[in-house]
C-alpha cells in the first residue's frame, strides 16, 4: 500500500511539474504542418517568467537556436490564454516581440498579451512584401525624352531570414510599469515557425 501511495505521489509531482514546465519548442505533426503552414511550435507560459523587478523586460535567447544555412519565418502567434497578474490596482500589460540578435522585432512587432489591455488572440508574422522597396531614376535618352528606370530593388528580409551564421531567436516580454512579469498567474502563447533546413 505504501508503494502505491509513493508512486501516486510521484505521479502527482510529475503532473504538476508538467503544468509549469519551461518553454517548449517542438516539431509539429505532419497534419498540423499542412494545416498551419508551419513546421515547429514554441509554447511559452506565465511560469517561464523569472523577472521579479517591476517595469523590467525579460529576454529569452535560449528557446531555440538556428544553424547557418537555415531559413526561419514566423507564420503566426496564437494567444491561448491571456496573461494576468490578478492585481486589480493596475492595468496589466505583457507586450511581446520576436526577433534575433540583429533585429528585435524581425518576426513580430510589439503585441499585447494581457487581459487588462487589448489582447491580441491571433497575429501573423511580419510580411516580407511590406519590406520591399525600389529606387527609380530618371534617365535622359539620346533625344529630349526622359525615361524612368528601375535601378535598385531592395528587400531587407523582414519577416523571414536565411542565416549565414549560427544564431538564436529572441523573445522579449515587457510588463506594465507597476508590475513584474513573474507576478503573472496565468497566460499561454504559441509561436508557429516555418524552419527550412538543408538535408545533412
Range of the domain at 30: 24-130+156-196
The reply to whether 178 falls in a domain is yes
pLDDT tens per residue across span 77-128? 999 999 999 999 999 999 999 999 899 999 999 999 999 989 999 999 997 6
The reply to whether 138 falls in a domain is no
Cell representation of residue 42: 514554441
CB 195 within 8 A of CB 40: yes
pLDDT at 64: 87
Structural domain count, the chain: 1
* HSE of 34, CA atoms in CB hemisphere, 13 A: 3
The reply to whether 136 falls in a domain is no
pLDDT tens per residue across span 138-168? 666 666 666 666 555 555 556 899 999 999 9
Examine the pLDDT at 5 and tell me if it is beyond 90.
no
CB 128 within 8 A of CB 160: yes
pLDDT tens per residue across span 28-59? 999 999 999 999 999 999 999 999 999 999 99
Domain harbouring 86, CATH code: 2.60.120
The reply to whether 171 falls in a domain is yes
The kind and range of the H/E element at 3 are: helix 2-19
The reply to whether 89 falls in a domain is yes
Distance, CA of 191 to CA of 193 (rounded, Å): 6
CB 23 within 8 A of CB 60: yes
The kind and range of the H/E element at 124 are: strand 122-124
Model pTM score: 0.76
Amino acid at each position: 500500500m505504501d508503494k502505491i501511495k509513493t508512486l501516486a505521489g510521484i505521479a502527482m509531482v510529475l503532473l504538476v511539474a508538467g503544468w509549469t514546465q519551461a518553454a517548449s519548442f517542438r516539431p509539429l505533426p505532419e497534419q498540423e504542418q499542412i494545416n498551419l503552414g508551419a513546421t515547429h511550435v514554441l509554447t511559452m507560459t506565465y511560469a517561464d517568467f523569472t523577472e521579479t523587478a517591476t517595469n523590467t523586460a525579460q529576454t529569452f535567447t535560449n528557446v531555440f537556436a538556428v544553424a547557418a544555412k537555415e531559413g526561419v519565418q514566423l507564420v503566426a502567434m496564437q494567444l491561448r490564454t491571456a496573461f494576468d497578474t490578478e492585481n486589480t490596482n493596475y492595468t496589466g500589460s505583457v507586450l511581446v516581440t520576436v526577433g534575433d540578435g540583429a533585429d528585435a522585432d524581425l518576426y513580430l512587432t510589439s503585441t499585447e498579451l494581457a487581459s487588462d489591455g487589448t489582447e491580441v488572440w491571433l497575429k501573423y508574422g511580419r510580411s516580407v512584401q511590406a519590406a520591399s522597396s525600389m529606387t527609380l531614376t530618371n534617365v535622359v535618352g539620346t533625344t529630349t525624352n526622359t525615361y524612368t528606370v528601375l535601378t535598385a530593388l531592395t528587400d531587407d528580409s523582414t519577416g523571414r531570414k536565411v542565416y549565414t551564421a549560427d544564431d538564436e531567436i529572441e523573445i522579449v516580454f515587457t510588463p506594465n510599469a507597476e508590475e513584474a512579469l513573474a507576478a503573472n498567474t496565468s497566460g499561454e502563447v504559441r509561436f508557429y515557425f516555418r524552419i527550412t533546413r538543408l538535408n545533412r
